[in-house]
Every structure is written in structure tokens, then in C-alpha cells.
Amino acid sequence: MNISPIKTEAAYEAALKEIENLFDAASNTPEGDRLEILTTLVEYYEDRLYALPLPDPIEAILYHMESRGLTRRDLEPQIGSRARVSEILNRKRLLTLKMIQRLHGELGIPAESLLGPYQLPKTKVRKPMLPNTRSQRP
């Protein structure tokens, strides 16, 4: 039963071909066991090769809102005031742990999507305005 991990595209194609040949194998037979092992190896290879990156937390929230027909107001119980929801969705403020827990627990947004890193846009630092110190002539 010489089986090894799938590391190349050629090994992947060969495993798929063998799975096709073993497809009707009965369970608890050497052929059925081989089919089960090959299927597991192919699934593992595909998961590694074709893994999709998680969306950033804000994209995950926006997707969830769109797919469920939610409005910004619907997020207030989980995030806070209307202004706070706006700050979060406009990337002006980071999600807090409490917000993440509520969004996951109450709305079912996957925690792994909410815990991912994301950046806030860099804003210009404004210099404080100083009063005019020049003497004014009459």
C-alpha cells in the first residue's frame, strides 16, 4: 500500500486518477481503505493549495450585513451608538474585543474573520491653531 503525501501537481493528478479507479470500492476492504486514505490526502492538498484568505473584519461585517439585509442601525446593539458604528465601518476606529464577541455571538459572524488584522487609514496630523500674535495696526 505504498502511499505518500501529495506534494506536486503530478502526484495530485495521479491520486485523482487512482481515486476514480477505486471509486466503487467497498468499505472495509483494502481497496476501500486505499480510497479513503487517498481522498484524505487529496483534500489536504487542495485545502493547502486553494485556501482562500479570510476577509478583513470590516469586509466580513459588510458582507454579513448585505447577505442578511441588515442596516447600520441593526449593528448598534453589538457595536454601540450610530456614530460608533459609522466610525467602525468607515475604518476610523478599531473593533474592540467586546464588539467582536457580540458580533460573533449575536449575529453569527465567524470569529476568525473578526479577529483578523486591518489598518485604519493614516490621517494628517493637524497643527493646533494659534491665536494671531501679530499686533494689529489701527
CATH of 57-114, one of 3.40.50, 2.40.160, 1.10.10, 1.10.260: 1.10.260
Closest CA relative to residue 57, chosen from 122, 14, 16, 101: 101
> Is the CB of residue 118 less than 8 Å from the CB of residue 91?
yes
| pLDDT tens readout for residues 89-104 | 999 999 999 999 999 9
| pLDDT tens readout for residues 5-23 | 999 999 999 999 999 999 8
How high does pLDDT run on average in the chain?
A: 89
pTM of the complete model = 0.56
Predicted confidence band of residue 118 (pLDDT cuts 50, 70, 90): confident
| pLDDT tens readout for residues 36-50 | 999 999 999 998 888
Residue matched to cell numbers 502526484: 11
